[in-house]
Amino acid sequence: MTSRILHPTAAMISDVHVGDPENARLEDFDRDEAFAHLLDAELPARAGSRPTTLVIAGDFIDFPQILPELGKACSVERLGTTEEESLARIRRAILGHPRVFRALADFLARGNQVLVLPGNHDIDLHFPKVFGALREACGGAPAPALEFVSEGKIEQNGVYLEHGNQYSYDNWFEHWGDPIRTAPDGARRIERPWGTLFMDIVYNDIEDAYPFVNKLYPHDALARVVLRLMCDDTRISVRALARLAAFFVTRGKRAIAGWALGEEDEDGGPVTRTAIESFVDTFDSGMANDRRRALIEETAAITGASEAPEADDVLPPDIGGRIGLLGRTDERGLDRRARELLRSGKRSVVAFGHTHAPFARSVDLPGRVGWIINTGSWIPRIELGAGEAPSFAELAVAPRSHDLRYLWLQLEGSPRASLEPLTSR
């Protein structure tokens, strides 16, 4: 396998989620100065002023949340934006965060290296013009100093680095290494997994109404908190709720059945009132009966639901956990994949991003110790206690915190890895 990392030391970060400050309700990244400090001071100090490599392991740019109207423009569910549309999006990110891209340009100018891996939110970097815009914003550094790792992973000296979305079926790409596909109208568009489709059609509208939702932790509580808020919030119209319900009893049902696992069912069968009632009751928050009835009727009207139930019409009781309701990953899939890689005997360190939850965990292996590491996220967090379901007013003023980490790797000889806190914010 080709050696991508040029230097004896490297750092990995992920899930920076640089967005568009012009759309403040969808912009989650606010650590521009911390990012610059990492490149200007922290990594040079770690490397002893020797050149080092920065690996950005996916979701550097949050394409689906920039110019979100573009995500609704393609009627083909499995296809997203064109190259020109993705180019417009990255230009907004570059314009909105000059400090970030100036820091990258300065880092490269000092003889360091930057490797960019794709994630599910920045798969658009496969478009040549899009990565070309990133290269230009980083001072025009040529390869191999600045490279896009199109295969989505780095494997070198016993270390395995990847974003991790491929082990989460709502964010899984069928054509991960070659995601630019031809639409029925001949346009070349980026592949769109189920999770991105949900963001484009539903989630961005939810975050526009509730800007705190992308900051809630732990993620397994996110779906119920948000949907209960929406059901109880009389500012959210029944029609808006019905569009959400209609999305899940059509596309969501298909995903549960295996659509996003490659067993695509274009038809999915007719929607029935039984399926709609099952979905509404799954997220029952004690909403008034008249509002519940109106929601069911409006959803039935949108979907053209029939009266007759089918055998598989009742949705699973934990629909949120089954389909990664708000675009989150199945952490068990990542852990399973990491252990498979470590057990192969060729790797000592496996590092992912994607889940936004940083950790470093040792794994006892025959005759050795392996490490599974996650570098977390750069977006702020609102921590929820066990079983906590705060109100809209409480969440709107809840304190935000950051837990910024990076993986530090020493690659000479046997690899050594540590998950480090960023020392200055």
Buried b (16+ CB within 10 A) or exposed e, 53-77: bbbbbbbbbbbbbbbbebbeebeeb
Residue 404, both tokens: 């910024």
Q: Which CATH number fits domain 9-190+329-421: 3.60.21, 1.10.1240, 3.90.1690, 1.10.3470?
A: 3.60.21
Give whole-number Cα distances, 149 to 179, 317, 322, 329, in Å.
13, 40, 31, 22
Q: From CA 235, how far away is CA 214, in angstroms rounded? A: 20
* Domain residue spans of the chain: 9-190+329-421, 195-323
Mention every residue, 6+ apart, whose C-beta is less than 8 A from residue 386.
none
Q: Is 61 left (phi over 0), alpha (psi -120 to 50) or beta?
A: beta
Comparing C-alpha atoms, which of 101, 17, 28 is closest to residue 57? 17
Which amino acid would we find at residue 20? D
Q: From CA 225, how far away is CA 218, in angstroms rounded? A: 11
Give whole-number Cα distances, 284 to 12, 42, 228, in Å.
42, 48, 7
Residue segments in the chain with a per-residue pLDDT below the cut of 50: 256-267, 310-329
Q: From CA 326, how far away is CA 318, in angstroms rounded? A: 13
What predicted TM-score, i.e. pTM, was given to this entire model? 0.85
Comparing C-alpha atoms, which of 54, 97, 41 is closest to residue 422? 41
Q: From CA 405, how far away is CA 234, in angstroms rounded? A: 39
pLDDT tens per residue across span 209-250 = 888 878 877 666 666 666 666 666 666 667 777 777 777 777
Residue 273, both tokens: 């009132």
Instruction: Give the model's pLDDT for residue 148.
Output: 98
Instruction: Give the model's pLDDT for residue 152.
Output: 97
Q: From CA 45, how far away is CA 406, in angstroms rounded? A: 14
Output the CA angle 360-28-85, nearest 5 degrees: 110
Please check whether residue 34 is in contact with residue 394, taking contact to mean a CB–CB distance below 8 angstroms.
no
Helix, strand, coil shares of the chain as percentages rounded to 5?
A: 40, 20, 40
Instruction: Give the model's pLDDT for residue 396.
Output: 78
